[in-house]
Chain A
Amino acid sequence: MLDEHPEEPGRPGGDERHEDPEEPVLEDAGGAPALRLAPPLRPRAPKASRRSLRPRRHLGLRARVTTAFALGALVLSGALASITYFSVRNSVVNQQEVSLRQEALGSAVLLSGRLQHPVPDYDQLLASVDPAGGSQSFLYKQNDWFLSSPTLLPDVLPRALRAAVFDGRPAEQIIDLGGTPHLVVGVPVKSAKSEYFEVFDLGNISRTLHVLLVSLILAAVVTTLGGAVLGSWGASRALRPLHEAAQAALAIAGGRLDTRLESEDYADLAVLTSAFNRMADRLQERIEREVRFTSDVNHELRSPLTTLAASLSVLEGRRDELPERSQRALDLLGAEVRRFRRLVDDLLEISRLDAGLGEVSRDEVALGSLVQHSVEATGIHVLVDIDEEDASRRLVIDKVRFERIVANLLENARHYAGGATRVAVSVAGAVARFSVEDRGPGIPAAERDRIFDRFSRGSSAKRRGAGEGTGLGLAIVSEHARALGGKVWVEQNGGRGARFVVELPIRTAEHEDSPA
């Protein structure tokens, strides 16, 4: 992949080799699960977990497959039904017509024989040639109409048909009488100079065809539904490995770096499974290596720093003995060593949090006293707003972590916003809120997530305090807040400035085990 654009090294996004060692690979502060680096101590998860999480993209695919199946079933069954219906109708109707025509012809032949002899009663004659019923016969002889039954009148016979028969041509036509189709057959009886008509009721056929039509439609509908069901089932079966892969990916993103896909069930997807597992292996390796590296480096920094701090203290104790230039050099040295020490402390804190090595202690304290001591420990003077009832509230919390949160927020305000103007504490139900306000440049909405990243400084930080902060303060606050089961965010402080708010769940002694 990296060889695709050899001539364009500067192409944005083209060469992905540049890595920022401080940024874990999949971190996303925007609300999607950020990469939590869990230590590889958890038992290896053999299958991706089957939580019923359904990403939207996934559902759309299934619906599409189901719809496709349903449509396919509809089209096929519709076509089949139509073909069946029309061909049955044609053949049945044709057959019927042929047989009825034969019948009419037969009746006409019979009549022509009878008409050679004098006929006393034409009506009776007609009635006698009418074989089964379900039809009515008409005879036109010498301008007289004779009917086999009084039900239908001669004017039901279509004019065109009559004209054709009078001309000496047999004809037939289907007419509609009272909503039911009827077949009219007309046969000239030349030998008797008469015309014979027979009208057959096609109602039965029609009704049968109607029933057939309804059944076929019903069958088409059922088939369509069946198709939809089949499609849905088939889709979920086929998509299940994707679902599992999605769950596995989510688990990894959530910190369970051990998660892998089992390949037995889906031989077809062996490529996906093995590629996924390989990717997860590499990712895990990389992250663990980074964590180890950071931890080792930090560890190695402790010893020289100890020596530096001790030696510095000795020199500073003898500052008066030094000439002025040496004193100035010593002051610079002292300031930088202390800053370096703070940076290493912060890095160590962060790397411990990353590796999940830090414990969360359970100290039972009063909220007011905790906040008071935490603020005092920073040496920063700021007003603390808390009402008496909330202050006397007892809770179980890791007081050192809380102090780190307070210290980092106050330091942050001091470095970048001219100092905190107000600290407020309040309790609402099962959460406690701790907020630090300032009247500094504030944080633009677009940056409010990013500033909690490591080594990120807001655009308005610029030169002010650039030499003071370590760039990790807010990241530390965020990690500690998370470790305590809470969260932190920043909002606008009225007209100008920022308000950092930490929200922590209140756990009480009843829910916690006591120490020792």
Chain B
Amino acid sequence: MLIPPCEKIGAMASRILLVEDDERIRTSMRLSLEDEGYEVEEAESGEDALEAHARALVAQPFDLLVVDIMLPGMDGFDCCRELRKVSTVPIIMVTARTDTHDVVAGLEAGADDYVTKPFEPKELAARIRALLRRARTTDGGPVSLTFGDLEIMPEAGVVKRDGEEVHLTRTEFLLLCELAANTGKVLSREQLLERVWSYDYFGDGRLVDVHVRRLRTKVERDPSDPRHVLTVRGLGYKLAP
């Protein structure tokens, strides 16, 4: 059962599940996130997180998860993968270093973004805000866009391939919409980072690369031979018209 990501901010406080085994870090993060106006629930391990998430689904689902990759037992990557089987909720990974392996592994496991310890609480708050912001209104744009076997309905937040709904995470969806809004035009990684993730010039290009890979596995018939989401060498990506 898949629940679309909650888009309402301001109406009620967004609910965040914080998954971190270090008690002090968890407590201090909870305090600072609550100051930002979020409702925070804590989980000490990957297993606890899955349990809490499943419970919340029937009552009040979480709007976003913050998951540390270094967890006892089930690590953050596995936790993320398990969550992705049942949800497209935004996930921010907390990594210990910015080396390729951890970041890419986290992104491929399904995270939407990441922060690196030690981080300023403001950084995390900015990332959360970027992920939770409302989808752009299409302002009279087309209700539905079709590209071969792919159909995109931006306002409804639905994507179908061969008539069947494809379940994209919020970020994957935004990425696809951004490419679709500029059909045939090449968007650079910097541009995509800014529009989809609200990063500045120095955002991490790997976010874009891994998300394109993930998108392809979901919307392309053959991800290794993409027809829709194309790479333009040295410049960026585009959606084929």
**Residues of A with Cβ closer than 8 Å to B?**
299, 301-311, 313-314, 317, 341, 344-345, 348, 352, 357-359, 361, 363-365, 369, 373, 377, 396, 399-400, 403, 509, 512, 514-516
Contact = CB atoms under 8 A, between A and B. Distances in A.
Contacts of A373: 200-202
B32 A313 contact: yes
Interface stretch (B51-59, B140-148, B165-173, B230-238): B230-238
A301 to B, nearest CB: 8
Given A302-B117, A303-B22, A311 B31 contact: yes
A357 B35 contact: no
A344 B96 CA distance: 13
Contacts of A345: 118
Interface string B183-221: 000000110000000001110110001001100000000
B15 to A, nearest CB: 19
Interface stretch (B79-87, B119-127, B174-182): B119-127
Contacts of B212: 516
A515 B118 contact: no
20 contacts: A301-B118, A302-B96, A302-B118, A303-B24, A307-B25, A307-B28, A308-B28, A308-B118, A310-B25, A313-B120, A313-B121, A314-B121, A357-B99, A359-B100, A361-B205, A363-B189, A377-B201, A400-B202, A516-B209, A516-B212
A398 B27 CA distance: 36
A352 B101 CA distance: 14
A512 B233 CA distance: 10
Given A302-B117, A311-B31, 17 more contacts: A301-B118, A303-B117, A306-B29, A306-B119, A307-B24, A309-B120, A310-B25, A310-B28, A357-B99, A359-B99, A369-B201, A373-B201, A377-B202, A399-B201, A515-B205, A515-B209, A516-B213
Contacts of B190: 365
A393 to B, nearest CB: 14
Contacts of B234: 364, 396, 509, 512, 514
Nearest to A403: B202
3 smallest beta-carbon distances between A and B, as pairs = A310-B28, A514-B233, A305-B118
Contacts of B119: 306, 309
B101 to A, nearest CB: 10
- Best-buried of A299, A307, A352, A403 by chain B (most CB within 10 Å): A307
B223 to A, nearest CB: 12
A223 B35 CA distance: 96
B190 to A, nearest CB: 8
A515 B119 CA distance: 28
B97 interface: yes
- Best-buried of B22, B24, B118, B119 by chain A (most CB within 10 Å): B118
Contacts of A516: 209, 212-213, 231
A341 B121 CA distance: 13
Nearest to B124: A310
Interface in B6-44: 22, 24-25, 27-29, 31-32, 35
Interface residues of B, number: 34
Given A359-B99, A361-B205, A344 B118 contact: yes
Contact of B29 (A299, A310, A358, A399): A310
Contacts of B205: 361, 363, 515
A377 to B, nearest CB: 7
A172 to B, nearest CB: 104
Contacts of A308: 28, 118
B88 to A, nearest CB: 23
A352 B122 CA distance: 25
- Best-buried of A299, A307, A396, A516 by chain B (most CB within 10 Å): A516
Nearest to B125: A313
Interface in B98-135: 99-100, 117-122
B114 to A, nearest CB: 14
A357 B101 CA distance: 11
Contacts of A514: 231-234
Nearest to B209: A516
Contacts of A403: 202
A441 to B, nearest CB: 32
Contacts of A344: 118
Contacts of B122: 313
A304 B118 CA distance: 8
Contacts of A396: 234
- Best-buried of A302, A310, A359, A400 by chain B (most CB within 10 Å): A310
B99 A309 contact: no
Nearest to A373: B201
Given A302-B117, A303-B117, A306-B119, A311 B28 contact: yes
B31 A352 contact: no
Contacts of B25: 303, 306-307, 310
B35 A317 contact: yes
Contact of B31 (A301, A304, A310, A363): A310
Nearest to A341: B118
A373 B24 CA distance: 36
Contacts of B204: 400
A363 B191 CA distance: 13
Nearest to A369: B201
A357 to B, nearest CB: 6
A513 B189 CA distance: 15
Contacts of B28: 306-308, 310-311, 314
Nearest to B22: A303
A373 B235 CA distance: 19
A438 B97 CA distance: 34
B31 A515 contact: no
B174 to A, nearest CB: 18
A352 B235 contact: no
A359 B204 CA distance: 13
A369 B188 CA distance: 14
B117 A306 contact: yes
A509 B189 CA distance: 15
Given A307-B24, A515-B209, A314 B202 contact: no
A299 B32 contact: no
Contacts of A364: 234-235
Contact of B32 (A310, A341, A369, A400): A310
A307 B26 CA distance: 8
- Best-buried of A299, A314, A341 by chain B (most CB within 10 Å): A314
Contacts of B209: 515-516
B144 to A, nearest CB: 28
Nearest to A508: B234
